[in-house]
Amino acid sequence: MAILVLDILTTAAILFAVSAGLLIILGVMKLINFAHGAFLTVGGYMAYLNGAAGLSPWLSIPLAAGVGFLGGLVIERVIVRPLYDRPLDAILATWGLGIVIGQLITLGFGRGVQFAPNPISGTTELFGVDYSAYRLAVAVIAVLLVVALSALLKLTRFGLNARAVIMNERLARGLGIDSTRVRALTFGLGAALACAAGALITPLISVDPNMGLPWLVNSFMLVMVAGVSFPSLLVASLILGGAQVVVSTYANPILGGMTIVVAAALVLRISPKGFSRA
């Protein structure tokens, strides 16, 4: 039982970390970033390069975040900004971008599987069971991330501007908020979060050109259910991630793989706003 609870908590933490970057971009920019999976992959390769350079594995997460932020700013300026008036085209453009990034990675590193060193290996004892130390660390990091992101939105000037843009972009602009700058910073932040999450999950999965893809669908469903709020994304991750673990454990892991998608569709059918107003 303790194992089941820990599985649910750590699965939710991983899902939250992986989805956060998608959520902030959708919230502020009304843009579904289909390059999110590719950003995760880039983060994984940053962890690989970091390991190959012999640096501490912990450095891979800030390194990936930095690369993601700068890359995000450039991508926003070059690809996303010219398409602000054509939201559907912008979504297609991010899809294409994801394919291009995937192919560039394949060209640079090949199709094979790469490896990055683990920051922590082995298990620690908690509630009387030995549990993966790294998964517990990810859970702690996810909680810190919720606090930090909520603080960023609630306590900073950027957060205030971003919330204004989320609520009513035209009005915000009328009040003198530079919404273009808010959008640019948001895309950079979203890309940074995605890359950092890619580096964060690397010790649990393999680094290959398609590593981000399976996570894209689940994060998309979670963000749809969560609406634009980090606490409700955490709730969505706990409930849907928990459902996935329970189905995988008691029914069948193959059904478990579909649980998040099916459950999210059901939630949206019953309550079109998902958990955001619940």
Partner 1 sequence: MGLACAVSAQAEETIRIGIPVGLSGANSVVAPSVVQASELAVDQINAKGGVLGRRLELVIADDGSGAQGAQRAYDSLVFQQKVDAIVAMETSAARNAGLPIVNRGKVPLIYTSFYEGRSCSPWMHINAWVPEQQVAPIVDQFMDEMGAKKFFLIGSDYAFGRGMLEFTREYVESKGGTVVGEEYLPMDGSDWTAIISQMRSASPDALITSTAGGAPNVTLTKQLRATGVDIPYGNYAIDEGTAATMGTDAEGIYIAASYITGIDSAANKAFLEALNAKFGAKAETPSELSVPQYEGILAYAAAVEKAGSTDAEKVVEALGEVTVDGPRGSITMNKQRHSPLTMYLGRVAADGSVEVIKSFPDVDPGEQCPQLAG
Q: Point out which residues bind partner 1 (CB under 8 A).
A: 3-4, 7, 10-11, 110-115, 117-118, 121-123, 130-135, 203-206, 208, 210-211, 213-214, 244-245, 248-249, 253-254, 256-257
Q: Which CB, 69 or 134, lies closer to partner 1?
A: 134
DSSP state of 228: S
DSSP state of 131: E
> Closest approach of Cβ 84 to partner 1, in Å?
34
How wide is the angle at C-alpha 261 spanned by C-alphas 257 and 263, nearest 5°?
A: 105
Q: Which CB, 11 or 161, lies closer to partner 1?
A: 11
Q: Which CB, 10 or 161, lies closer to partner 1?
A: 10
> Closest approach of Cβ 39 to partner 1, in Å?
17
Q: Which CB, 162 or 245, lies closer to partner 1?
A: 245
> Closest approach of Cβ 86 to partner 1, in Å?
32
- Would you put residue 168 in left (φ > 0), alpha (ψ -120 to 50) or beta? beta
Taken in order 119, 235, 213, 182, the sign of the CA dihedral is negative
- Nearest CA to 30 among 167, 231, 191, 226? 167
Q: How far is CA 175 from CA 28, 52, 170, in A?
A: 17, 49, 9
**Measured between alpha carbons, how far apart are the two ends of the chain, in Å?**
28
Q: Which CB, 84 or 131, lies closer to partner 1?
A: 131
> Closest approach of Cβ 252 to partner 1, in Å?
8
> Closest approach of Cβ 210 to partner 1, in Å?
7
> Closest approach of Cβ 82 to partner 1, in Å?
33
- Nearest CA to 202 among 95, 42, 36? 42
3-state secondary structure of 125: strand
Q: Which CB, 138 or 172, lies closer to partner 1?
A: 138
Quote the longest CA-to-CA distance of the chain: 58
